[in-house]
Amino acid sequence: MVDYFIENPDRLEGQPKRTIADYVEQNGILVPRRFDSLREARGSGVAVICRSEHTQDYDGTSGLLFSPDLSKLPDTNNESELTAKVTDKMHFRIDEYCKLMNLEEASFREGISFSFWEKLGGYNRMVVADSSIRGRYHVMTLGQGCAAYSIFEDGIFRHISGYTHDTNEELDNLVKLYESVRHLDHFDPDNCPIMEFQSSDGKNYFLQYHRSREFKPAEFKLKRLRRLGEKKAVFVRGATPPEGVTLRLAVYYPDSWSENPVPQSEDGYYGIADIENVYRAIMASRWKLNVIPTIVDLEFTLWDAVEIGHVTRNQLHKPEVSLVVNGKEFMKTKEYHKSLPSCPGYIDVYAISDGKDAYVK
C-alpha cells in the first residue's frame, strides 16, 4: 500500500508534524493542543514546545533539527525571528546535511518552520513495531524518574533496560493506540514507524510519526550452535536470509566526508551511535546491517536510545538489521586500530539473525 504522504509530499504542507497531528486528531485520537501562531502560543498561558518542521523529516533524517521550549526564547516576538535564532544555533548541522545531500542550503533553510504545541507533563514514549517479528514492539519510556527500554510481545511486557513504572495494561493500551494510528488510511500498515506519544494524567496523546522499515517476516528459526569465531548478539532487531549475510561495514569515516555527497548505499556500520554525526544519521535508513558494540553493557547501550534522542533510536531501528554485541568480545582494541589507517576503515562481517537470536563474526 502506498503511503498518502509519500505519494505526494506536498500533502505534508511543509509541516509534517502539524499536518499529521491534524489528520490523526480528525480520526478521534488525542493530540496536544496546537496554536496557529507564536503570538497565540504566548498568550495561552501554558507551557509550549516549538516543534521544528521540514518536509524531509517524515521519511528522511528525523531529529536533524531541534525543537526548543518557548520559555527559552523570551525575547523572540515573531516566527521569522524564531526560525532565524534556532537555525543559527543549528548552522553546522544544516550546513553539513546540505553538503552531504548535495542540496542548496538557502533553499533547504526556506523549508524550515515551527509549529507550536502545548507541552504536557508525564511520560514521553516511543513505540516501534518490530520489523521481522509480528506482534513484537519496542517501547522506550522517559520521564518522572523513568528511562526504560522494554519489549512488548503477544501481550507480555518484558523490561530490558533502565527504570520503569510501566504496567502490562499500560503498554497494551499504548500498543493498541499505535496500531490504530498505523492502520489509518493515509499510512502504509506494512511500515513499522517510530511513533511518539505523551502519557499524561492517565491518557495517551499522539505526538509524531516517522517512517522506518517495512515489515519483512523472518523466514527461519536459528537453532544451530555457534560456529568458530561467531559471537551471540545480546540484542537483535531485524532478520537476515536463512544463510546469513556477509557485508562490508565501515568502522571509521574521515572528517572530509562531510564535504562530499553521501553514497546511495552502504552495507553498514560498526560502532556506537553518535548524536552529532550527521552522516550516520542520514545513512542509518540505507544500512543493511548496523553492529553496535557495548561500551559498558546492553542496559547502558539501550539507555542511550531512550535518553539521548532521535539519532540513537534511528541507528537502532532504521537499518535492515541492528545487532548489539559485547564490544570486548567481538573485536579487540588492537584489531579495531588496525582498520583505522585506511580512511574510511572497513571490516567484513558475517551475520545470521532470525529476528530474536543472532550470531555475528
Instruction: Specify whether the CB–CB gap between 110 and 103 falls below 8 A.
Output: no
Using DSSP bridges, classify how beta strands 48-53 and 156-163 pair: parallel, antiparallel or unpaired: unpaired
pLDDT digits (tens, 9 = 90+) for 76-130: 888 999 999 888 888 888 999 999 999 999 999 999 999 999 999 999 999 999 9
Q: Tell me how far apart the alpha carbons of residues 300 and 201 are, in angstroms, rounded to a whole number.
A: 29
Q: Tell me how far apart the alpha carbons of residues 97 and 5 are, in angstroms, rounded to a whole number.
A: 23
Q: In DSSP terms, which residues pair with 209 in a beta bridge?
A: 195
Write down the H helix ranges in 29-90.
Answer: 38-43, 79-89
Q: Tell me how far apart the alpha carbons of residues 131 and 247 are, in angstroms, rounded to a whole number.
A: 20
pLDDT for the residue 126: 94
Question: Looking at domain 123-210, which CATH architecture does it have?
Answer: 2-Layer Sandwich (3.30)
Nearest to 357 by CA among 221, 219, 159: 221
Helix (H, G, I), strand (E, B) or coil at 151: strand
Q: Name which residue leads in pLDDT, 260 or 116.
A: 116
* 19-33, 39-53, 317-331, range with the lowest pLDDT: 317-331
Q: What residues does each domain of the chain span? A: 32-118, 123-210, 231-360
Strands (E), 108-177: 113-118, 123-129, 136-143, 146-153, 156-163
CB 252: neighbour CB atoms within 10 A?
Answer: 17
Give the model's confidence band at 336: pLDDT under 50 very low, under 70 low, under 90 confident, else very high: low
pLDDT for the residue 314: 85
pLDDT for the residue 89: 87
Instruction: Specify whether the CB–CB gap between 113 and 145 falls below 8 A.
Output: no
Give the model's confidence band at 263: pLDDT under 50 very low, under 70 low, under 90 confident, else very high: confident
CA distances (Å), origin 154, targets 218, 238, 239: 16, 17, 19
What cell does 209 get? 510519526
∠60-205-201 over CA atoms, to 5°?
145
pLDDT for the residue 18: 98
Give the model's confidence band at 213: pLDDT under 50 very low, under 70 low, under 90 confident, else very high: very high
Q: Tell me how far apart the alpha carbons of residues 132 and 174 are, in angstroms, rounded to a whole number.
A: 20
Give the model's confidence band at 143: pLDDT under 50 very low, under 70 low, under 90 confident, else very high: confident
Question: Can you state the angle between helices 79-89 and 91-100, rounded to 10 degrees?
Answer: 80
Nearest to 250 by CA among 268, 277, 233: 268
